[in-house]
Amino acid sequence: MPVIDYIFLGLVALSVLLGFMRGFFREALSLASWVLALWLALEFGQIFVPVFSEILPSPALQIWAARLMTFVLVVVAGAVVNRLIGMAVRKTGLSGTDRVLGMGFGFVRGVLLVCLVVLGAQVLELDREPWWDESRLVPYGLQVADQIRDYVGEGIDYIGEEIQLGTSGED
């Protein structure tokens, strides 16, 4: 097996281990807080632009700093909520079930990370390298990556438009 297959297996195994250690509820809440933070930063980040208007000269830098601030604040708030819910789950006696479900969550996350690596490798044209053809796991990653690309294509276009709106026409 080529080295890339071992890297992919290690990535999935690490994700499963993290899912086991943190549990399903903490993993799911963490993911939800990151998604919410990204959405809020893109949609409402401009609210904090006045905070940076005297510090940063460029309007584009101001909006991106405001978005970053929004993102960080939401992720920190999500971490606090996540911690409180994690303590509540431990007290209910569901920690064993939570950890097993967390392993499943970690497996799915690991597979998605591998698919993102495969997509990135295609963009960088690493799919022309000999190890790519020798890999036993890349074909599976390609199948899932193609489905992901079809499924999230519109979402990626939307995010691209939001990013362009945030930086164009403000200078």
Is the model more confident about 126 or about 168?
126
Nearest Cα residue to 63 out of 160, 158, 169: 169
Domain count, the chain: 1
Confidence of residue 167 (pLDDT cuts 50, 70, 90): low
- Within the chain, residue ranges assigned H as helices are 3-22, 24-44, 49-52, 59-92, 95-123, 130-134, 138-167
Is 74:37 a contact under the CB 8 Å cutoff?
A: yes
Q: Compute and round to an integer the Cα radius of gyration of the chain.
A: 20
Residue 157 has a pLDDT of 63
User: Would you say residue 168 has pLDDT above 60?
Assistant: no
170 confidence band (pLDDT: 50, 70, 90): very low
**What is the tens place of the pLDDT at every residue in 85-140?**
888 887 887 788 889 999 999 999 999 889 888 888 887 888 888 888 899 999 98
The boundaries of the domain holding residue 156 are 3-168
pLDDT digits (tens, 9 = 90+) for 32-64: 999 999 999 988 888 999 988 888 888 888 888
